[in-house]
């Protein structure tokens, strides 16, 4: 019976994430169209509401093309790995207190581990395609993701020092009175920038630089394989936004929002962070790759180490004062 309940919860979460991804793409196109003084998709469905499903149907009906020099098994399997890992992280995300698939006490470490495993799908897909463009894109993406995971880990340590827990439920409960974004706003800002780099989003979308690498590590992928990579990328955006919400915005805590609807407060906060993703993409030009790596190793790493030393020192001073 327990397995049936867990399976039902998992299916509900997976379907919800897929629908969220579909409409995130539609909202992104609408918002970018508005910022750039365009209309955006309006033809399929009322005001373009069915456009994501039309795009998905088009991709799944296309022919799968296998490059001559590709490794067939890895080439077909890597998109599935990427999409699967974007779902696994939701196992520890609580939508309300007790409304979670697995209330894991090490939820923060679990999410870091899942994000680290996502690198394998990227690097293997680029290597398995047998294409120089794909390989260069995968190497770029791997170096970028590994580098910014160092910054993410250091910044997350600051939050753990304040809350004293690695449980996402515990993080949300620790921010009942005030979200950590207020006392730790420099850390939160650095974390948000690292989120953009970790998910390969503009202005850090160097692995998919069209002028240099065509489409990066999935240049040779088509049809449902491209759709899986696409779903995985946007699924990771939603997942890391939910993670950031629990770290700095109080998770499912409603604060001034008193409506007793499970997941509503969390959903609104995640939506606000995702709107920032789209806004940044439409506003800032792409960085050069050397600038991207320089920001990490010359700015974020020293600042992260400094905050890791500063935050516990301030906490100890306040306790002993």
Q: What is the pLDDT of residues 34-48, one digit of tens each?
A: 898 888 888 888 888
**Domain housing 109:** 53-320
Position 279 scores a pLDDT of 93
Checking if the pLDDT of 212 tops 60, the result is no
**pLDDT tens per residue, range 283-304:** 988 888 888 888 888 999 999 9
27 within some domain: no
Alpha-carbon separation of residue 151 from 147, 246, 267 (angstroms): 7, 18, 26
Structure confidence at residue 118 (pLDDT): 84
Residue whose token pair is 């399929």: 44
In a domain, 235, yes or no: yes
CB 85 within 8 A of CB 117: yes
Q: What's the pLDDT band for 64 if we cut at 50, 70, 90? A: confident
- Residues 278 and 199: their CA atoms lie apart, in Å, by 13
Question: Residue 211 above 60 pLDDT?
Answer: no
Residue 5 within a domain? no
Whether 16 is covered by a domain: the verdict is no
Asked if 213 and 207 count as a contact pair (C-beta separation under 8 A), the reply is: yes
Q: Is residue 2 part of a domain?
A: no
Neighbours of 167 (CB within 10 A): 19
The string of pLDDT tens digits covering residues 261-279 is 667 888 999 999 999 999 9
In a domain, 128, yes or no: yes
In a domain? residue 48: no
Residue with tokens 């394998």: 120
Burial of 117 (0-12, 13-18, 19+ CB in 10 A): middle
Residue 41, domain member (yes or no):
no
pLDDT at position 257: 66
Tokens, residue 319: 């306790």
Omega of the bond prior to 203 within 30 degrees of 0, cis?
yes
Which long-range contacts does 54-60 make (Cβ < 8 Å, 24+ apart)?
Answer: 55/25, 56/22, 56/227, 59/223, 59/224, 59/226, 59/227, 59/230, 60/223, 60/224, 60/227
Model confidence at 192, pLDDT cuts 50, 70, 90, reads very high
- Domain tally for the chain? 1
Identify the H or E element spanning 15: helix 2-35
CB environment 234-271: b (16+ within 10 A), e (fewer): bbbbbbbbbbbbbbbbbbbbbeeeeeeeeeebbbebbb
């Amino acid at each position: 019976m327990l397995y049936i309940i867990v399976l039902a919860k998992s299916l509900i979460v997976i379907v919800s994430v897929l629908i969220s991804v579909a409409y995130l793409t539609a909202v992104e196109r609408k918002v970018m169209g508005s910022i750039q003084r365009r209309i955006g998709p309006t033809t399929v469905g009322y005001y373009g509401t069915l456009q994501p499903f039309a795009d998905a149907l088009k991709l799944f009906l296309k022919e799968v093309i296998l490059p001559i020099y590709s490794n067939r098994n890895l080439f077909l399997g890597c998109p599935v790995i990427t999409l699967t890992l974007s779902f696994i992280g939701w196992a520890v995300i609580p939508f309300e207190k007790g409304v979670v698939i697995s209330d894991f006490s090490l939820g923060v470490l679990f999410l870091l581990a899942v994000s680290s495993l996502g690198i394998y799908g990227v690097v293997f897909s680029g290597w398995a395609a047998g294409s120089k463009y794909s390989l260069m894109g995968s190497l770029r993406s791997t170096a970028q993701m590994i580098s910014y995971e160092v910054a993410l880990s250091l910044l997350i340590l600051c939050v753990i020092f304040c809350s004293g827990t690695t449980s996402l439920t515990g993080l949300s409960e620790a921010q009942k009175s005030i979200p950590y974004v207020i006392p730790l706003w420099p850390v939160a800002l650095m974390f948000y920038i690292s989120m953009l780099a970790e998910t390969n989003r503009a202005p850090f979308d160097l692995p998919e630089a069209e002028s240099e690498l065509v489409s990066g590590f999935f240049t040779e992928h088509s049809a449902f394989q491209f759709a899986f990579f696409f779903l995985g990328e946007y699924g990771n955006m939603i997942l890391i936004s939910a993670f950031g919400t629990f770290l700095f915005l109080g998770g499912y805590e409603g604060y001034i929002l008193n409506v007793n609807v499970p997941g509503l407060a969390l959903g609104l906060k995640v939506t606000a962070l995702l709107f920032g993703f789209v806004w940044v993409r439409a506003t800032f030009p792409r960085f050069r790759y050397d600038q991207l790596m320089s920001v990490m190793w010359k700015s974020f790493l020293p600042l992260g180490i400094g905050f890791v030393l500063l935050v516990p020192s301030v906490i100890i001073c306040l306790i002993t004062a």
